[in-house]
Amino acid sequence: MLDKFIKHKKYLFLFLIIFLGAFLRLYKVPAVPPGLYIDEISDAYNGYEILTKGVDEHGAKYPLWFKAFGEYKMPMFVYTAAGSIALFGRTDFAVRFPALVCGILTLIIFYFLVENLSKFIKQKIPFPPSSLALTSTLILAISPWHIQFSRAGFDATIALPFYLLGLLFSILAYKKKQSFLLTLSFICLALTGYSYNAYRLFVPATFLVIAAIFVIKQKQMLKGIILNAIFFIIMILPMVIFTFTGAGMERFAQTSAFTAYATSSLIEKIIHLPIIFLNNYLSYFSLNFLFNVGDGIGRHQMVGFGPMPYWEFPFLIVGLYVFIKNWKNPFNLIIFALLFAVPFSAAATTPSPHTLRSLLMVIPLTIIVAYGFLWVMDKLLKGKRILIFLGIIALISFEFIFYLHFYYQHYPIINSYDWGAGYEEMVAKTVKYQPEFKHIVVDHNLGIAEIPLYYGFYTGDKLKPQVVLSSWHKPKDWEKGTTLYIRAFYNRNVIPNTIDTVYLPGKNKDIFATFQKL
C-alpha cells in the first residue's frame, strides 16, 4: 500500500522536499549570514577581475589556480562567481549564487544517488527503496550542516554536487554497462578536484576505487574503462602536477597537522605522527563535534550548535546497528566506505575536526540516519503506536524551528564578526564621503589583506584607499581636514572629529569602524 503510494507520488514528494530545501537555502540571503567573509570576497574580487579584465588580482591571465592570502585556491568557485556577477552585478547575492544553486542541486542529485544505490540493498528491508531516497533527501534538506554551507560562498559546497554526480554516473554506468556514462562520471570527478582543495587526494582515490570495481566486475567494458581512465588522468594531470609543486604544497604546509614534527628525526616522526593522525581521525566521529559544538569556527556553525541536530542521534545509532548487522551488503559497504574515507584527508590537517573539510560526511551520515528513522517508524506504525510517532515528529519539528530561530535571529548578531558584516556599509560610506576628502586611509586592523578586496569589489576598482598601521600619523604636508581616517572598533566618544560610524548588527551597537576627519 505504502509502496504503491510512494511509487506514484514520489516525484510530487521530491518536488515538495526540493521546494522546502530551496526555501531554507534562499530565504534572507545574503542578509543572513551577514556580509561576505574573507574567502568570499577574495573569490568575488577575482571573479570580477576575470570578468572585466580577464586577469586575477595579481595580473595572471585566466589562471587555473588563484593566489590568495599566501596560498592557491581552486578555480571553480572564482569562474562560477564571475558568471553570476555578470548576471546579478557586484552584489553579495551574486557571490553566493553559485553555492546556493549547488546546494539545491545537491538535494536533487542526492535523491537519485540514494535511489539508485538502494537497488544494491540485498537484505529484506521493511520499507520501499524510494522512501529511503525521499527520507534521506528530506533530512539533507533540513540538515544544519548542509544549510550552513549552502547559504554562503564555500568552495566545498560547489564540489559536493560534482562529486555526487560523479558517483551517480558511475552507478548508472555499472548498471547500464555504458562507457559514455563512465566518461560523464570521470568528468564530474575531475571537476570536483578543481573545486576544493580537500578533494585533491580524495578524487584520485575515488577514481582508483571505481576503476578497480569496473575492471573486476565489468570485464566486457575493459576497452571503455581504459580509454576513460586515460581521459581522466589527462583531465586531472595539471592538478596532480600542481599538487606536487611548491605552490601546490603551500596549502598543505599551512594546514598540516604534522608541522610541529617537520624537523624531527624519522624515528620521532614514525612514533608521533600516526598517533596525531589517529587522534584527528577519531575526532571526526566524536559526539561533541557532531552534535554539541562542531569545530568551534563561527562561520561553520552557530555557537552551541553542532552540525547535526540532536534528534538525529537515536536514529543514527539504530541506523548504524542495522548497517553493521548487514555489513556485507554492497549498499552498506559503499556507505561505510564513504563515511570512513572522508576524514582520512581531513585528519592530516589542523584544526581537526573541521566541519567544512568533512562536509562530504553529511552524505553517508544522512543516509544512515534516514535508514534508522524509517526502521523505527516502521516498527512504531506496525505496532500502531501513533502517539509515539507523533511525539517524535513534534520533537523533530520543535528542534528544527528552534534552530531556525537561532539562525535567523541570534546568529547574525553573535557571529557577525566571523563574517564580513560592516564592510559593505563601510565602503558605501567611504564612497559617500570621498568627494569631501583628498586622502583616504584605512586602519590595518580592519584586515590588511582584505580591505583592498572589499573596496575593489564594491566600488568596481574605483576607490583604492591606503591601508596604514594603527601607529600611523598624518604626514605634516597633508592639509588639515583633508584626510578621512577609517579606524577599527574605536568608541566614537573617544575619538575627536568622528563624522560617522559603522555598527555591527544587534541592539548593543558594537562599533565596526569609525570615520575620523583629520
The verdict on 410 binding other proteins (CB under 8 A) reads yes
In the list 405, 432, 438, 462, the residue contacting other proteins (rule: CB under 8 A) is: 405
The verdict on 462 binding other proteins (CB under 8 A) reads no
Could you give phi then psi for residue 482, rounded to 5 degrees? -105, 0
The verdict on 278 binding other proteins (CB under 8 A) reads yes
Residues ≥6 apart with Cβ < 8 Å to 390: none
Cβ-based burial of 102 (10 A; exposed 0-12, middle 13-18, buried ≥19): buried
Rounded to whole angstroms, how far apart are CA atoms 234 and 473? 55
In the list 61, 476, 507, 509, the residue contacting other proteins (rule: CB under 8 A) is: 507
If the CB atoms of residues 317 and 448 are measured against other proteins, the closer one turns out to be: 317
If the CB atoms of residues 394 and 448 are measured against other proteins, the closer one turns out to be: 394
Interface with other proteins by CB under 8 A: which range of 96-104, 136-144, 192-200, 273-281? 273-281
The verdict on 391 binding other proteins (CB under 8 A) reads no
In the list 277, 285, 489, 490, the residue contacting other proteins (rule: CB under 8 A) is: 285
| Strand, coil or helix: 201 | helix
Least distance to other proteins, CB of residue 413, Å:
5
Cell numbers linked to 111: 535523491
- Which helix (H) or strand (E) segment holds residue 337: the answer is helix 330-346
Least distance to other proteins, CB of residue 429, Å:
23
If the CB atoms of residues 88 and 406 are measured against other proteins, the closer one turns out to be: 406
Least distance to other proteins, CB of residue 275, Å:
6
The verdict on 126 binding other proteins (CB under 8 A) reads no
Interface with other proteins by CB under 8 A: which range of 81-89, 122-130, 205-213, 285-293? 285-293
The verdict on 271 binding other proteins (CB under 8 A) reads yes
Nearest to 307 by CA among 320, 297, 293: 293
Contact 293, 304 (CB under 8 A): yes
Give the angle subtended at the CA of 105 by the CAs of 95 and 72, to the nearest 5°: 45
In the list 279, 397, 466, 482, the residue contacting other proteins (rule: CB under 8 A) is: 279
In the list 89, 330, 383, 506, the residue contacting other proteins (rule: CB under 8 A) is: 506
Contact 187, 233 (CB under 8 A): no
The verdict on 310 binding other proteins (CB under 8 A) reads yes
In the list 26, 240, 282, 431, the residue contacting other proteins (rule: CB under 8 A) is: 282
Convert residues 138-167 into a mask of x (bound to other proteins by CB under 8 A) and - (unbound): ------------------------------
Interface with other proteins by CB under 8 A: which range of 57-65, 85-93, 246-254, 277-285? 277-285
If the CB atoms of residues 222 and 317 are measured against other proteins, the closer one turns out to be: 317
Rounded to whole angstroms, how far apart are CA atoms 342 and 199? 9
| Strand, coil or helix: 502 | strand
The verdict on 394 binding other proteins (CB under 8 A) reads no
Could you give phi then psi for residue 146, rounded to 5 degrees? -80, -35
Residues ≥6 apart with Cβ < 8 Å to 59: none
Interface with other proteins by CB under 8 A: which range of 46-54, 218-226, 401-409, 495-503? 401-409
The verdict on 413 binding other proteins (CB under 8 A) reads yes
Least distance to other proteins, CB of residue 400, Å:
12
Computed on alpha carbons and rounded to an integer, the radius of gyration of the chain in Å comes to 25
Characterize 313-337 residue by residue with b for buried, 16 or more Cβ atoms within 10 angstroms of its Cβ, and e for exposed: bebbebbbebbeebeebebbebbbe
- Which helix (H) or strand (E) segment holds residue 486: the answer is strand 483-488
Which amino acid belongs to residue 135? T
If the CB atoms of residues 27 and 321 are measured against other proteins, the closer one turns out to be: 321
Chain centroid, CA 461 distance in Å = 28
In the list 123, 245, 259, 292, the residue contacting other proteins (rule: CB under 8 A) is: 292
Residues ≥6 apart with Cβ < 8 Å to 174: 213, 214, 217, 218
Nearest to 70 by CA among 258, 251, 194: 251
Contact 347, 281 (CB under 8 A): yes
The verdict on 414 binding other proteins (CB under 8 A) reads yes
Q: How many residues bind other proteins (CB under 8 A)?
A: 30
If the CB atoms of residues 222 and 324 are measured against other proteins, the closer one turns out to be: 324
DSSP characters over 123-144 = S--SS-HHHHHHHHHHHHHT-H
In the range 313-332, which residues lie near other proteins by CB under 8 A? 321, 324-325
Residues ≥6 apart with Cβ < 8 Å to 368: 316, 319, 320, 323, 335, 339
Least distance to other proteins, CB of residue 292, Å:
5
Cβ-based burial of 394 (10 A; exposed 0-12, middle 13-18, buried ≥19): exposed
Could you give phi then psi for residue 455, rounded to 5 degrees? -65, -40
Cβ-based burial of 111 (10 A; exposed 0-12, middle 13-18, buried ≥19): buried
The verdict on 260 binding other proteins (CB under 8 A) reads no
Least distance to other proteins, CB of residue 201, Å:
24
Nearest to 377 by CA among 170, 134, 172, 155: 134
The verdict on 415 binding other proteins (CB under 8 A) reads no
The verdict on 417 binding other proteins (CB under 8 A) reads no
If the CB atoms of residues 238 and 304 are measured against other proteins, the closer one turns out to be: 304
The verdict on 283 binding other proteins (CB under 8 A) reads yes
If the CB atoms of residues 275 and 494 are measured against other proteins, the closer one turns out to be: 275
If the CB atoms of residues 119 and 405 are measured against other proteins, the closer one turns out to be: 405
- By CB under 8 A, name the binding residues for other proteins: 271-272, 274-275, 278-279, 282-283, 285-289, 291-292, 304, 310, 321, 324-325, 402, 405-406, 409-410, 413-414, 506-508
